[in-house]
Amino acid sequence: MNPPAHILIIDDIPLNLEVLGASLAREYDVQFATSGAQGLALVQQQAPDLILLDVMMPGMDGYQVLEILKSDPATQSIPVIFVTARNDVECETRALEAGAVDFIHKPINPVLVRARVRLQLAAALAQRELQHSLSELRQAQGRLRVLSMATEQSPSAVVICGPNAAIQYVNPQFCQVTGYDAAEVLGKNPRILNSGQNDPAIYLDMWSRLKRGEPWSGELINRRKSGEIFREEAHLAPIKDDEGRTLHYVAVKTDITARHQAEQALAQARQRELETAAFIQHKLLFGQVPTDLEACQVVCYTEPCQGVDGDFYTFTRLSSSVFEVLTGDVMGKGVTAALIGAGLKNTYRWLFSELMADQTPGNYPSAATLMNALHAAVTPELIAVNAFVTMSLLRIDCKAKTLSWVNAGHTPTLLAQGQQVTELIGDNLPIGVLEHEVYAEHKVQLQAGDTLLLYSDGLSESANSSRQYYGDQRIQQLLSQGQQAGHSPELMMATLRSDIEAFTEQSPAEDDRTAVFIQLQAA
């Protein structure tokens, strides 16, 4: 419940104060002043909702009091009713010109007093509500002007459609992007921009969301008035009334043609870079198989998962019947792994030359000596960059039919002899893990017809759509079958690759794949 209105009565005659107060005390909060000065002081303490002011008072009359009230912005809107014994036109005209809102003539009629007070209070309340409404309207108009200017000057195209999808408004940016004037598209469906290159599922999803009252965002390929194709990033949303009915659809769209072209150019440049890197990598990381080896046949294969990879192998011919093959797999993928692999291969070759300089003719540094020298040279740097490399170094003497090897955490080499496949396993850690690791050498006797398979875990970890791995067991079975059938290394390699492609349903490699088949021939 609202508190009663506060009314101030100013009159120098106590009887008048008593009569006016008795007339109003039941409905209002009434306060009294016996002079103009006292009344003004009370107004400063608490502004009344209405003032009943006697005209004829000693010292400061009603006209002077009213003049002071109207000169102060804080009190000029307070309605003032003059109370006077005079009823001449001159007196009333002067009062109205000074700002009084009404007159009450003496002798005082209580019923008339209450009626006029109610009327002026209601008028004052209506005036305040009107001013408040006008203020809110001005604020709303200001916000609308800002929104209108923002829409008109927006760097994004803005389109507003009716519930039937007919265009009702487009901003200047829409016209600049599409080449259409506003008059050409008003009343039309936005499909006039359709290029025919969008998947129909895009529109089904768009309208499904909009009909559910949800916004939609996505990319569209549209056509300008000139026929030129362009791409835009679109954000659409329904506009609803208080009852949830869709009144409009609004779309805010940004031309991303230049961005898309830049992304395409960047992707093409990166692809060219990867192709160049892959070409260089094959020259740096994958050594050529010696062509004049006696009683030995070698076949190699590698497939990077990112155009360039961290798998590598290299061959070193020691004599017409003795050679080494170093294989490795750098942790990680891509250019970084390939660079580490190239560095390791070059370091190995440099160390081999250095160690060979200390050997007598016909002798070679052992596989263990080479691996430990390589480990000492590169492990501190690998630890510093938080990388490691699995490697396997094999030395094969085709004439003596011997194999020496050092395995540094690499996938075991498979040796197929007759019906048996043996894993040549080492117990050392990868290069780059522990600085004090000492790498041990192992030896095994070979026979004519034996086949060796060196491979990376990218082969065994090739996965199908059910996330099942190809596995080491399948590789061993395939090698065993090929060995028993007397297949050549080329046929074994082709069979292995074909089987993996069938298992993975020809899905792209998720890790680098490398394999080297070595088969001893009869002398």
Domain architecture of the chain: domains with CATH: 6-131 (3.40.50.2300), 157-255 (3.30.450.20), 276-520 (3.60.40.10)
User: Amino acid identity, residue 437?
Assistant: E
Fill in the amino acid letter for 20.
L
Q: Give backbone dihedrals phi and psi of 340, rounded to 5 degrees, phi first.
A: -65, -45
Sign of the torsion angle spanned by Cα atoms 27, 29, 35, 40? negative
Range in 89-93, 170-174, 433-437 with the lowest mean pLDDT: 89-93
Angle at 188 between CA 183 and CA 193, to 5 degrees: 95
pLDDT band at 133 (very low <50, low <70, confident <90, very high): confident
**CA neighbor of 20 nearest in space, from 4, 3, 32:** 32
Q: Taking 60 as the threshold, does the pLDDT of residue 280 lie above it?
A: no
Place of tokens 């936005």: 190
Quick one: average pLDDT of 230-249? 91
CA-wise closest residue to 439 among 480, 407, 473, 403: 407
- Residue that wins the pLDDT comparison between 421 and 269: 421
**How many Cβ atoms sit within 10 Å of the Cβ of residue 196?**
8
The answer to whether 26 touches 7, Cβ cutoff 8 Å, is no
Maximum Cα–Cα distance across the chain: 147
User: In this structure, are residues 522 and 297 in contact, taking their beta carbons and an 8 Å threshold?
Assistant: no
Query: Can you list the positions of beta strands (E) in 346-441?
Result: 389-397, 402-408, 413-417, 420-424
What are the pLDDT digits (tens) for 70-123? 999 999 989 999 988 877 778 778 888 888 888 888 888 889 889 989 998 888
> Vertex 200, ends 196 and 205: CA angle to 5°?
135
Give the chain's end-to-end CA distance (angstroms, integer): 116
pLDDT higher than threshold 90 for residue 9: yes
Q: Is the pLDDT of residue 462 over 70?
A: yes
Number of alpha carbons in the 13 Å side-chain half-sphere of residue 28: 24
Q: What is the dihedral of CA 481, 484, 490, 492, to 10 degrees?
A: 10
Q: Write out the DSSP string of 260-318.
A: HHHHHHHHHHHHHHHHHHHHHHHHHHBPPPPSS-TTEEEEEEEE-SBSB-SEEEEEEE-
Shortest CA distance to 416 belongs to which of 330, 484, 463? 484
Q: Is the pLDDT of residue 282 over 60?
A: no
As a whole number of angstroms, the distance between CA 151 and CA 182 comes to: 14
Coil, helix or strand for 176?
helix
pLDDT tens digits, 482-499: 999 999 999 999 999 999
Instruction: Supply the mean pLDDT for the chain.
Output: 87
Rounded Cα–Cα distance for residues 237 and 250 (Å): 6
- Percent share of the chain, pLDDT over 90: 51
Residues 476 and 421 sit within 8 Å (Cβ to Cβ) = yes
Binning pLDDT at 50, 70 and 90, where does residue 29 land? very high
**Preceding omega of 172 cis (within 30 degrees of 0):** no
Q: Read off the pTM.
A: 0.52
Question: 485 Cβ partners below 8 Å, 6+ apart?
Answer: none
Question: Which of 89-103, 282-296, 415-429, 499-513 bottoms out in mean pLDDT, i.e. has the lowest?
Answer: 282-296
Dist. CA 95–CA 55, nearest whole Å: 9
Sheet holding 246-255, edge to edge: 167-170, 157-161, 246-255, 229-240, 216-223
